[in-house]
Amino acid sequence: MLLTEKLKTALHQFGIETLHHPGMMDIPEDIVLEPPCSLKFMSIMYSLKMGAFSYAVSGYFYGCDIGRYCSFGEDVQIGRQDHPVTWVSTSPFAYLQSKMFDVGNDFDGAAAYHAFNAALGLHEPKETYIGHDVWIGHGAYVRPGVRIGNGAVVAAHAVVTKDVPPYAVVAGNPAVVKKFRFEQNIIARLESLQWWRFAIWDLNGLALDQPERFIDELELRISKLEPFQPRRITIDAGTGGVSFTDRKIG
């Protein structure tokens, strides 16, 4: 669906930022957004789920399930699908459900081209899963079907070809684990605490720059907090506006 002035205004009103101008962005109908979050200059294909307090500056996103508090840099590429290397041909003519090219009729073989349809429909897209509080640097490439754990960091221009453990820092081509952000006991406590269940205002005054102290302080506060459960937004193809859904993210 094309981003219209009406749709952009509705998204903004209900907590979704996009920096695209109306008419300059296509948004798939299969999208679930948890406000507040930001699409900035993302190019979104096929489907997207994005959790609250997450944003991506720009790049290509295909079939992504993104958690909360994620930060993606410029020109990030996530979920670009593979061509079938075990088939006779890697060309998409064998699996596309539409024509390869949008062309006219005044060329040799035009009638046969437009009549041809050999699509097998067997090349199923893979969904890529990004946990909570993940930072992906500028120009990183994440293969389809990969799972990136909570708290992980993907260095700029890394090529991620396999799953990334929680709180790992990966870099290179192919990306490998360079280190972990914290000691394993801290990682275990953060995974158990699941602090991303809460809104940013619930974390006010906590020692965010001191992980162990932060955990101790949040554990003391947590009995008084309610998990953040905003209304999730999807696109209403009928009205060209937004609607609300109970579909989960993550």
| CA distances to 7, 18, 68, 92, 116 from 12, in Å | 9, 8, 18, 37, 43
User: Which residues in 208-231 are b (16+ Cβ under 10 Å) and which e?
Assistant: eeebeebbebbeeeeeeeeebebe
**How far is 181 from 231, CA to CA, in rounded Å?**
32
User: Could you give the 3-state DSSP secondary structure of residue 146?
Assistant: coil
Given a cut of 80, whether residue 128 has pLDDT beyond it is yes
User: Could you give the 3-state DSSP secondary structure of residue 54?
Assistant: coil
> Which of 43, 69, 74 lies closest to 134, judged by CA?
69
Q: What is the pLDDT of residue 84?
A: 82
Q: Which contacts (CB < 8 Å, 24+ apart) does range 156-161 have?
A: 156/73
Given a cut of 90, whether residue 109 has pLDDT beyond it is yes
Considering the domain delimited by 1-81+126-181+230-250, tell me its CATH architecture.
3 Solenoid (2.160)
Look over the chain and give the mean of its residue pLDDT values, rounded to a whole number. Answer: 93
Across the range 158-180, mean pLDDT stands at 98
Q: What is the pLDDT of residue 120?
A: 64
> Which of 90, 66, 88 lies closest to 79, judged by CA?
66
Given a cut of 90, whether residue 118 has pLDDT beyond it is no
Burial status of residue 23 (CB atoms within 10 A of its CB: 0-12, 13-18, 19 or more): exposed
Given a cut of 60, whether residue 240 has pLDDT beyond it is yes
CB atoms within 10 A of CB 56: 27
> Which of 81, 53, 50, 46 lies closest to 65, judged by CA?
50
Structural domain boundaries in the chain: 1-81+126-181+230-250, 83-124, 183-229
Q: What is the pLDDT of residue 18?
A: 96
Q: What is the pLDDT of residue 185?
A: 98
**How far is 220 from 148, CA to CA, in rounded Å?**
29
Given a cut of 80, whether residue 230 has pLDDT beyond it is yes
| pLDDT tens profile 47-62 | 999 999 999 999 999 9
Angle, helix 211-221 to helix 184-193, in steps of 10 degrees:
30
Given a cut of 60, whether residue 44 has pLDDT beyond it is yes
Given a cut of 80, whether residue 246 has pLDDT beyond it is no
| pLDDT tens profile 208-219 | 999 999 999 999
- Residue corresponding to tokens 């094309």: 2
Q: What is the pLDDT of residue 239?
A: 81
**How far is 133 from 223, CA to CA, in rounded Å?**
22
Given a cut of 70, whether residue 22 has pLDDT beyond it is yes
Beta-bridge partners for 160: 142
User: Could you give the 3-state DSSP secondary structure of residue 201?
Assistant: helix
Q: What is the pTM of this model?
A: 0.90
Across the range 5-23, mean pLDDT stands at 95
Across the range 215-224, mean pLDDT stands at 97
Catalytic residues: 83
| CA distances to 95, 110, 118, 121, 139 from 115, in Å | 15, 9, 10, 17, 39
